[in-house]
Structure formats: structure tokens, C-alpha cells
Amino acid sequence: MEFVALLLKLLTLISEACSNVEKLPVALISCGVVQAAVALSLAIFKAPGGIFLRHGKVPVYLYYGIDISVVIFGLFDASIGF
């Protein structure tokens, strides 16, 4: 499936879940899994560059810390949908 079509489908799912409580678990699970997968792939496959290379290790640790916290939040979001 094309990325834009998937994004539009997720946005439609979220907007429908705002008015219909029965669709809320599906929206929470799918969006949480997508959020965790994107953050995990960003942490694994995209190395930080630019300011991260010249200012010590603190920005790099902050970058990966934020990525890991987004993964945890996405998995928590998906688990709430169950």
C-alpha cells in the first residue's frame, strides 16, 4: 500500500474514532503500532547528523532517548487499545 494512502486511512480511522467509541480500539492499536515502528526504524536506520556530530555525546544520547521513549509510548498506546 502506498504511504500516502496508508496515512489517509489512518487519519480517517482516527477521525471516525472521535465520534464512534466502537472504532477507538482499532485506531489506538493501529496508530500505536505505526508510531512505534516508525520511531524504531528511525533509531535503527537513520544516524543522527549535523549538530549531533560536533557537540559531544549528549545530543546523540538525547536523540536516541527520545526515539526510545516514542517507541515505548507507541507500544503503550497500542496496548491500551486491547
Stated as kind and residue range, the H or E segment containing 62 is helix 58-80
Most confident by average pLDDT, 2-6, 62-66, 69-73: 69-73
Per residue in 38-66, pLDDT tens?
Answer: 999 988 888 777 776 777 888 888 888 99
CA dihedral 64, 47, 4, 69 (to 10 degrees): 0
Per residue in 12-39, pLDDT tens?
Answer: 988 898 888 888 888 889 889 989 999 9
Q: What is the pTM of this model?
A: 0.77
Q: Residue 79 — pLDDT band, cuts 50, 70, 90?
A: very high
What ranges do the domains of the chain cover? 3-80
| Burial class of residue 59, CB neighbours in 10 A (0-12, 13-18, 19+) | middle
Q: Which amino acid is at 36?
A: A
Q: Residue 71 — pLDDT band, cuts 50, 70, 90?
A: very high
